[in-house]
């Protein structure tokens, strides 16, 4: 098992920054886009950075397998034997990368005994990095400034400080669908942001109360957020209000989910999944 310490975290941060530099290089060029079997886009940047991360992590940690979004066809039978592994998304927010919104990131997470325990989310164009490690805290680095993220707690009858529920979504077109699962007439305000991991950063910082995703994502999209939210009193749950799982199913596709900033709130009274 890899020791969870600052040295390990700094090694992973350095790799993430190097991967981000590669993404910046691709971002300045014209790149070819292909459509994968699941109807999502993939670019040469995704594939190059996937290989780069896999080679870097394998060179440093030869005993620890690497599972990438772009190379994830490993049967459960084989994966189940892994005590720990690196779970990576070389380019979270490929569509945002293609659309030049700047809202994309590199994701590297260490998963141990089916639980994410260390993560780095690095958005190179925004000069923004979130990182967290179990029992160490969660941090935001913006440019050269680093701050530790506080625990998100509300004392107002375990409900919202603000009477308006602030919800992060990936697109304005998602808003009506999200409204349909909320408590009737609940006042809410939507914040649109690309890249699943960057939305999780908004939740961890308490800028929004929650992030709702009703479409498909992979375990690599949410693993980093699990560590970030675990260190800031947040959580992620599925439509049954159960936690997401990692490396326990044949598929690596997540169910719909909600990420919340403060797990002490009674979210079962706010969301109406049916």
Question: Residues marked as binding for substrate?
Answer: 69, 91-94, 221
Return the residue matching tokens 């999944």: 273
Q: Which residues are annotated as a binding site for Mg(2+)?
A: 69, 89, 91-92, 221
Q: Retrieve residue 215's tokens.
A: 């479409």
| Closest-CA residue to 200 (of 255, 138, 143) | 138
* 253 DSSP β-pair partners: 218
Give the tokens for residue 105. 């990131």
Which residues are annotated as part of the binding site? 69, 89, 91-94, 221
Bridge partners (DSSP) of residue 132 are 119, 138
Rounded Cα–Cα distance for residues 119 and 236 (Å): 15
- Please tell me what DSSP assigns to residue 93: T
What long-range pairs does 65-68 form, CB within 8 A, spacing at least 24? 67/220, 67/252, 68/220
What number of other Cβ atoms are within 10 A of residue 176's Cβ?
Answer: 8
Query: Strands 128-133, 115-123: parallel, antiparallel or unpaired by DSSP?
Result: antiparallel
């Amino acid at each position: 098992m890899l020791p969870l310490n600052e040295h390990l975290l700094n090694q992973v941060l350095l790799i993430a920054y190097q991967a981000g530099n590669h993404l910046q290089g691709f971002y300045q060029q014209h790149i070819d886009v292909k459509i994968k079997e699941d109807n999502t886009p993939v670019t040469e940047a995704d594939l190059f950075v996937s290989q780069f991360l896999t080679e870097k992590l394998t060179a440093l940690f030869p005993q620890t397998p690497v599972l990438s979004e772009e190379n994830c066809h490993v049967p459960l039978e084989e994966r189940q034997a892994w005590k720990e592994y690196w779970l990576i998304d070389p380019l979270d927010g490929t569509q945002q990368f293609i659309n030049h919104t700047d809202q994309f990131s590199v994701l590297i997470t260490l998963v141990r005994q089916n639980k994410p325990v260390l993560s780095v989310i690095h958005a190179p164009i925004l000069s923004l990095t979130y990182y967290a490690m179990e029992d160490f805290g969660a941090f935001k680095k913006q440019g050269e400034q680093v701050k530790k993220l506080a625990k998100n707690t509300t004392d107002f009858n375990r409900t919202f400080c603000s009477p308006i529920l602030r919800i992060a979504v990936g697109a304005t077109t998602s808003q009506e669908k999200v409204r349909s699962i909320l408590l009737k007439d609940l006042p809410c305000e939507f914040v649109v942001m690309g890249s699943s991991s960057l939305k999780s950063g908004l939740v961890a910082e308490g800028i929004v109360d929650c992030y709702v995703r009703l479409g498909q994502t992979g375990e690599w999209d949410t693993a980093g957020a699990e560590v970030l939210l675990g260190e800031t009193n947040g959580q992620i749950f599925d439509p049954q209000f159960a936690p997401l799982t990692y490396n326990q199913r044949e598929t690596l596709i997540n169910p719909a989910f909600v990420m919340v900033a403060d797990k002490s709130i009674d979210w079962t009274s706010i969301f109406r999944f049916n």
